[in-house]
């Protein structure tokens, strides 16, 4: 998969794309990241990427031209039109479902605005998806682009060592994860639940399912609204 980012602050991505799993995924050839400074595409003497708003008013507006030219340059002739994702607070709220959808694409282009709005023609004619990473306002789209790149990369086949961990983690199953423990069995008087030490795999599985469901019910009941619970699961919640 190929993930291109258009940003005025490409240095912000150095550590995120150059560390840990994202670095390893890139070294293994499973993904390539390219961060492009779209100021390089500004077709004016001072490389200005913004301008005054038509109709007047405070603030500046990001010009359409650098975005259109940069995307033209990133899309090779004959290539299928990639998804072009704009990071902005008024976009669709990002979710695991959207990450799964994006992970099936061959090529994503992520647009990061800063300080000001985008010329509406970028939204209307260039962008295929508008994404917000939450109901708060950031200084720019970069952190959102990192969130998308990270959550999508870990879903690519071969990126996570243990294939299971992407399948059973929170949200993929529609539930929050059950509690985890590791050695020692007792620490400062705090004991690991006996059942996990019992070696009884079937009971352990059942305990995990119940804890996962209980935790979801307590913390994120909204996640259960669309889920059909079995009689047994409903009883666990009612207890």
**Where does this chain bind ligand ADE (CB under 6 A)?**
87-89, 132-134, 136-138, 140-141, 144
CA 238 to chain centre: 34
Is 233 tagged catalytic? no
Q: How far is the CB of 136 from ligand ADE (least distance, A)?
A: 6
b or e along 128-138 (b: 16 or more beta carbons within 10 Å of the residue's beta carbon)?
A: ebbbbbeeeeb
Active-site residue among 105, 130, 169, 206?
A: 169
Is 37 tagged catalytic? no
Active-site residue among 154, 208, 215, 220?
A: 154
**Residue 133 counted as an annotated binding residue:** yes
First to last CA, the chain: 46
**Residue 138 counted as an annotated binding residue:** yes
User: 6 burial class (0-12, 13-18, 19+ CB within 10 angstroms)?
Assistant: buried
- Residue closer to ligand ADE (CB basis): 62 or 213: 62
- Residue closer to ligand ADE (CB basis): 70 or 88: 88
Closest CA to 66 of 34, 41, 85, 40: 41
**Residue 222 counted as an annotated binding residue:** no
Is 154 tagged catalytic? yes
Is 169 tagged catalytic? yes
Tokens coding 89: 């607070």
CA 167 to chain centre: 16
**Residue 113 counted as an annotated binding residue:** yes
- Residue closer to ligand ADE (CB basis): 99 or 213: 99
- Residue closer to ligand ADE (CB basis): 71 or 146: 146
Angle at CA of residue 120, ends 118 and 125, nearest 5°: 110
Residues identified as active-site: 89, 116, 154, 169
- The binding site comprises 113, 133-138
- The binding site for S-adenosyl-L-methionine comprises 113, 133-138
């Amino acid at each position: 998969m190929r993930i291109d980012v258009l940003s005025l602050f490409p240095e912000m991505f150095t550590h995120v794309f150059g560390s840990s799993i994202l670095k390893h995924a890139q070294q293994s050839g499973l993904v390539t990241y390219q961060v492009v400074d779209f100021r390089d595409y500004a077709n004016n003497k001072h490389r200005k990427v913004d301008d005054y708003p038509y109709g007047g008013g405070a603030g500046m507006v990001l010009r359409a031209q650098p975005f259109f030219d940069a995307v033209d340059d990133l899309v090779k002739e004959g290539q299928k039109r990639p998804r072009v994702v704009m990071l902005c607070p008024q976009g669709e709220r990002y979710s695991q479902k959207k990450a799964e959808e994006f992970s099936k694409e061959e090529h994503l282009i992520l647009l990061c605005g800063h300080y000001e709005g985008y010329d509406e023609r970028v939204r209307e004619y260039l962008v295929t998806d508008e994404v917000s990473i939450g109901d708060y306002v950031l200084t720019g789209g970069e952190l959102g682009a990192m969130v998308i790149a990270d959550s999508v990369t870990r879903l690519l086949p071969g990126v996570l060592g243990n294939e299971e961990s992407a399948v059973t983690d929170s949200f993929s199953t529609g539930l929050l994860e059950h509690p985890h423990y590791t050695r020692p069995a007792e620490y400062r008087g705090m004991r690991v639940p006996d059942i996990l030490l019992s070696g009884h795999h079937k009971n352990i599985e059942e305990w995990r399912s119940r804890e996962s469901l209980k935790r979801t019910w307590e913390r994120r009941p909204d996640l259960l609204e669309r889920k059909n619970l079995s009689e047994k699961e409903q009883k666990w919640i009612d207890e």
